[in-house]
Amino acid sequence: MRLFLLFITVVLYLGSHAQNQFPIFIEGTWKMEGNEIYEHWDMIGPKTLKGFAYEVKNRQMNVTEYAQIEYVNNELVYTASVIGQNQGQSIPFICTQLDSMWVFENNQHDFPKKIIYQQQSDTVITVEITDGKHKTIRYQMYKQKSNSEVEQDSTIKNPNYNSALAQKFDADEYGMKPYYLVILKTGSLVSNDKEWVSKIFALHLENIVRLVENKQLIVAGPIEKNEKNYRGIFIFDQVKNTEELERLLKTDPAIAQNLLDYEIYNWYGSAALPDYLEASELIWKIKP
């Protein structure tokens, strides 16, 4: 059974609150790092929170789970109802620890059996869900600004500003971020073995696809023949430094065989640039 992250806001039940209290600030919307997966919670009474999880795909919201957090016989209980699973039955998890880590357990359940939360800051929490033996998933979620908070932020000059998108793309206050620009150029090796060269460049294209699927390479394309022997460009995202970038470039067979060489530049562009990749898979008729 997949529990779509609704457990997560319980971590905000801080040690500074007595166990018989419910923190009102749990209310709100949270987003999973690197994914369009969200959860939303509302306080509907002094000891009851109701929430739901949803995914956003192609700008459509799909609810995946409903949940409730409440005190039952002096125990803090989280119950989840995943759409399309468990014949519609809710699965309970009992809070067994409220300290530096918050732990909810149901040892009779297949997966997860244990959910562990740890607060990193007021807006960031780390979650671990595990069966205690072979399978563990760990991730972070970020609290999203409400519409009223966005409206009250005097630093925002754009009436169309979307804080969730800005956080998703890791944008700075200008909506920009740094990337690495790589210019490919003719390498030092010249070969008359056309069959071998064709094979290497076929592998070169396969490597491009792999880097795109890993969300590291976000732009790739050829440059028409020119006097500087420039052959194409790459733009890389989510690469820590030039050392890591060079390791990635050397996984390209055309570069490894010196059929291609490269120049690396720091580049500053729109943080939303990677978002075009999803649309790009919907518009080609013949695979290049």
* Per-residue pLDDT tens digits for 42-64: 888 777 888 888 998 876 788 99
Q: In DSSP terms, which residues pair with 102 in a beta bridge? A: 98, 117
Longest dimension (CA), the chain: 81
Q: In DSSP terms, which residues pair with 78 in a beta bridge? A: 69, 93
Q: What is the CATH number of the domain that holds 131?
A: 2.40.128
- Residue 126 and residue 183 share a domain: no
Q: Is the pLDDT of residue 15 over 50?
A: no
- Residue 267 and residue 196 share a domain: yes
pTM value surpassing 0.75 = no
Of the three residues 145, 161, 193, the one that is the final residue of a domain is 145
Domain that holds residue 127: 6-145
Residue 244: pLDDT band (50, 70, 90) is very high
pLDDT tens string 102-112: 788 999 988 88
The residue among 152 and 258 whose pLDDT is bigger is 258
143 closest CA partner among 40, 1, 24, 239 = 40
Arithmetic mean of pLDDT over the chain: 83
Whether the CB-CB separation of 209 and 216 falls below 8 Å is answered with: no
C-beta atoms surrounding 52 within 10 Å: 19
- Residue 219 and residue 141 share a domain: no
The amino acid that residue 122 corresponds to is D
Residue 207 covered by a domain: yes
Whole-angstrom Cα distance, residue 103 to residue 11?
A: 9
Residue 156 covered by a domain: no
Strand runs labelled E in the chain: 28-32, 37-45, 48-57, 60-72, 75-82, 91-98, 102-105, 114-119, 124-130, 136-143, 176-186, 217-222, 230-236, 260-270
The residue among 157 and 23 whose pLDDT is bigger is 157
